[in-house]
């Protein structure tokens, strides 16, 4: 079981490392997903996520998809899912071994977490956290 503190990590880099660990059969838990960083222009990132959520069709949106997540832990899970072959049994099994949390739950307070050096933020000026994106999309967490 691997416990990762997501604070200061870059979204894509962390998600790719986590997806590789999941495909190897390990169980991964990520805390503080609201502090994971998406690099790039703040306005461009917010507009991109807003377009996904606003996408509409003539069918009932509650019954039909695609449904895009708004909470930081769900956005992270969806990002990792995109890096897994989740339509195949191996990918589905790997995806079930992923847990993501906003903050650190009480039952995990004493657990020792790690930070992945390859996925950490290094001298990147532009960026926004998943928490800010989620608040902009209207999520309450």
84-139 per-position pLDDT tens digit: 999 999 999 999 999 999 999 999 999 999 999 998 888 778 899 999 999 999 88
Q: What is the pTM of this model?
A: 0.89
Q: DSSP secondary structure string, 6-39?
A: -TTBBHHHHHHHHHHHHHTT--EEEE-GGG-EEE
- C-alpha distance from residue 73 to each of 54, 59, 63, 141 (Å): 20, 28, 23, 10
pLDDT digits (tens, 9 = 90+) for 40-89: 999 999 999 888 888 766 777 677 777 788 999 999 999 999 999 999 99
pLDDT digits (tens, 9 = 90+) for 2-14: 999 999 999 999 9
Structural domains of the chain, with CATH: 2-137 (3.90.1180.10)
Burial per residue of 36-58, b for 16 or more beta-carbon CB atoms within 10 angstroms, e otherwise: bbbeeeeeebbeebeeeeeeeee
Tokens of 127: 């960026």
- C-alpha distance from residue 78 to each of 60, 68, 86 (Å): 22, 8, 11
Instruction: Report d(CA 115, CA 105) in Å as an integer.
Output: 18
N- to C-terminal Cα separation, the chain = 26
High-pLDDT (> 90) share of the chain, %: 76
Residues in the chain: 141
């Amino acid at each position: 079981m691997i416990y990762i503190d997501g604070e200061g990590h870059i979204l894509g880099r962390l998600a790719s490392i986590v997806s590789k660990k999941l495909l190897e059969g390990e169980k991964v838990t990520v805390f503080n997903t609201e502090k994971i960083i998406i690099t790039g222009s703040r306005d461009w990132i917010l507009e991109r996520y807003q377009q996904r959520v606003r996408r509409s069709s003539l069918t009932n949106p509650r019954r039909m998809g695609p449904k895009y997540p708004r909470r930081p832990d769900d956005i992270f899970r969806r990002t990792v899912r995109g890096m897994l072959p989740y339509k195949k049994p191996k990918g589905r099994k790997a995806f079930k071994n992923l847990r993501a949390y906003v903050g650190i739950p009480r039952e995990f307070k004493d657990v020792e977490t790690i930070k992945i050096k390859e996925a950490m933020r290094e001298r990147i000026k532009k960026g926004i956290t998943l928490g800010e994106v989620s608040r902009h999309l209207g999520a309450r967490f």
